[in-house]
A = this chain, B = another copy of it.
């Protein structure tokens, strides 16, 4: 095993976490990484903050460069190489050298697929490839957007999609001084929240000066020359100098069609808790895999740096010959838009209904600090719990500074089957600059337990 050849497809969070772990354990093992871009190990989550200008250079988002991996860690990173095909019968992959435009077969003893996700692109809509219409996923796309803003000084930005990326990009465009419109297919932004919490977020975003078009869908672009000058929805045309697409992402697994590697939810790769696929010696990790939801006990698709790092580490540990397990996730996520913080964990009402779980729910408003302490801000907490047992099933938070990270207690509670009474009994920290005497998550639990 130590002297066998590990080949990794994808040089970002999951792939390089695994590569680094294997290198630490096996100093002489051959490790080859094929990465389709120029970059390795960068923070995709940081791209909106580079575009906004809060992060000054794109280099700051790169944790380790290909050169550093090659020279310092003896990991043979080959950038600008795209993998076209996986032939598990012969333990080999077909690789395209993008710079030389040549193809070759690479053999492996162990293979790790860590190709990540890609933003959904409305290829059926003419104009999606106009020079001022951008997806946000790779560092390259981030650099292109930032360059475009500097070169052309757009005044009107239209964001398509009201999820995390959409909200973060709305913030970035506001910071760059643009007039911002946001189109959202659903009746409220943030579809991972329940609609009643979505209303609160929608109102908060309007309060920041964003024009929202809810229940509206992208149907086309108004094109002049190489540029989109308007975004067409089922209801109207919105003037645009720049368009950002944030309409969801999907696993990057198209090249596996026809291989023996089994795909699951949204065509994400099926893996077991060791991150092994259905094919021996083939592992997968990160945004290209499906994830077990610890609350629903069903698989779902998560594209998040936390899960990518964890699953990369677990895959690397197992490839190293040790034993590690990734138990799953509970769908925790957090997002900032200007002064507002939004967070969620566990299941939402839609999912609970689909699972036929009887639940109760409450939403309370409290403060982030003692109400008399300067800077105490409103915080709104929604909890969902199983009707008979009182077991926490999910939580959603909206508030200002200091609100969102409280989701972590709820994520811990959801993961370890704590009840509302358990939450009330928690010895959470209190001093006036940090919290009311009853932390807002406990105030919510006290409110909801009355319905059990």
Chain A interfacial positions (CB closer than 8 Å to B)? 13, 43, 45-46, 49, 54-55, 60-61, 164, 168, 294, 304-307, 309-310, 326-327, 329-336, 341, 343, 345, 370, 372-374, 402, 404-409, 411-413, 415-416, 418, 422, 424-435, 437-439
Contact = CB atoms under 8 A, between A and B. Distances in A.
A335 B429 CA distance: 9
A437 B305 contact: yes
Contacts of A406: 405, 408
A306 B411 contact: no
B405 A434 contact: yes
A429 B327 contact: no
A405 B440 CA distance: 13
Given A404-B429, A405-B429, A415-B426, 4 more contacts: A306-B437, A408-B408, A408-B409, A411-B428
A214 to B, nearest CB: 23
Contacts of A412: 409, 412-413, 418, 426, 428
Contact of A433 (B336, B415, B429, B432): B336
Nearest to A331: B427
Contacts of A433: 49, 336
Nearest to A346: B427
A49 B372 CA distance: 9
Contacts of A425: 310, 326-327, 415
**Shortest Cβ-Cβ A-B pairs, 3 listed:** A334-B429, A60-B372, A329-B427
A17 to B, nearest CB: 10
A435 B332 CA distance: 13
Contacts of A373: 46, 49, 54-55
A416 B422 contact: yes
Nearest to A56: B372
21 contacts: A43-B437, A49-B373, A49-B433, A54-B373, A55-B372, A305-B430, A306-B428, A309-B437, A310-B424, A330-B427, A331-B427, A332-B428, A333-B431, A402-B405, A404-B429, A405-B405, A408-B408, A411-B426, A412-B413, A415-B426, A416-B416
Contacts of A43: 370, 372, 432, 437
B408 A335 contact: no
Contact of A334 (B336, B416, B430): B430
A432 B343 contact: no
Contacts of A332: 427-429
Nearest to A411: B427
B431 A336 contact: yes
